[in-house]
Amino acid sequence: MLRFAWQQLLRRGSGSAKCCSTASGKVNWNVDVDKCAEASCALVDQAAELLKEANKEIRVFKTKANNQDLVTVTDRQIEDLLVCGLRRQFPDHVYIGEEGTSGPATGRQLTNQPTWIIDPIDGTVNFVHGCPYNCISVAFWLNRQPELAICYCPTLQLKLTARRKRGCYLNGRQIRTSGQRELRRSLVLHEMHASNMGDDHRDTLWAMTVNLFCRAQTLRSTGSAVMDLCLVAMGAADAYVEFLPHCWDVAAGALLVREAGGAVMDPAGGELDIMSRRVLATATPELGCQMVQLLADSQIYHKRDDQP
């Protein structure tokens, strides 16, 4: 089954292989999105083999910003494989990767340029503990909008793909969100970070968690922002909210949810800004409105991903 999972992403559009948007404000890039899909699918398959094998071993890690921010040799191997492989074929594209493909000193800028946004392993803490909720996430953006998304969790054999306006697929089968509109009937996913926020933020987060816990049907946390977005797209969860995810955590998953019929936005209700470190994804826009109301007093703003 998994062998066929890429077919929907690779199915060539009727004569629309070249993406040359001319809409106002957009740049007329001559990008072959079919070729991008083909190249990224092949590389993600290779990367998934690495991740699958690494999941069977003892994982040595180093800490980065704090005790919950980890990196392993596998994170770097996978990012190298993906970025070097893509760069060979698309040398003039921009690359933003979790493990330093674009230096934090300059900030990571999302522009109109063709841009790959890559998380080699999302859920690194899970990976280190042998918890299977860890996956690879690759997104391709053009003119500041997502064109392609691939999220692959090889341990659970979940391969999700989406292409703008062409739907979302799980292992080759088209999927939809749950369609849930009511918060009181919703399974809500929520990720929390304790170590890199101050006491004020921590209190806000805690109050929000209690509020969600009382109003939703149930609250869960997988430890992987990408997996959370995949679960909303699959209809296995109804909503996901997080303050402080990075752009590589949401760049692909946002397209998966939208193409599965869901809504992705800022937790205050505005348009999603992947650099803002804030995200809310819901099975329906109606559920999105209820979540926004509930979150109104619990907003957290942090240093953006595109700030040096």
Active-site choice (78, 117, 118, 121): 121
Rounded Cα distance, 2 and 26, in Å: 36
Q: Which tokens belong to 251?
A: 């760049």
- Catalytic residue check, 38: no
In terms of DSSP H, where are the helices of the chain?
Answer: 7-10, 33-54, 73-89, 124-129, 199-215, 225-234, 247-250, 253-259, 285-295
CA atoms within 13 A of residue 10's CA, in its CB half-sphere: 11
Q: Which is nearer to ligand LIP, 258 or 278 (CB)?
A: 278
- Catalytic residue check, 228: no
Of the listed pieces 2-10, 14-22, 143-151, 243-251, which binds ligand LIP according to CB under 6 A?
A: 243-251
Rounded Cα distance, 40 and 215, in Å: 40
Active-site choice (124, 161, 177, 284): 124
- Catalytic residue check, 266: no
| Residue 119 binding ligand LIP, by CB under 6 A | yes
Active-site choice (75, 79, 122, 305): 122
Q: Which of residues 219-238 bind ligand LIP (CB under 6 A)?
A: 223-225
Q: Give the number of residues written for the chain.
A: 308
| Residue 191 binding ligand LIP, by CB under 6 A | yes
**Given 146, 154, 245, 261, the residue binding ligand LIP (CB under 6 A):** 245
| Residue 97 binding ligand LIP, by CB under 6 A | no
174 CB-near residues (< 8 Å, 6+ apart): 8, 167, 168
Q: Which is nearer to ligand LIP, 173 or 220 (CB)?
A: 220
**Given 163, 190, 246, 258, the residue binding ligand LIP (CB under 6 A):** 246
CA atoms within 13 A of residue 44's CA, in its CB half-sphere: 32
| Residue 99 binding ligand LIP, by CB under 6 A | no
| Residue 244 binding ligand LIP, by CB under 6 A | yes
Pairing of strands 187-191, 239-243: parallel
* Residue whose pair of structure tokens reads 């969860």 in the numeric block: 237
Q: Which is nearer to ligand LIP, 223 or 288 (CB)?
A: 223
C-alpha distances in angstroms, 107 versus 69, 102, 103, 110, 241?
Answer: 19, 8, 7, 10, 24
Active-site choice (75, 98, 99, 273): 98
Active site residues: 98, 119, 121-122, 124, 249
Binding positions for ligand LIP, rule: CB under 6 A: 98, 119, 121-125, 191, 223-225, 242, 244-246, 249
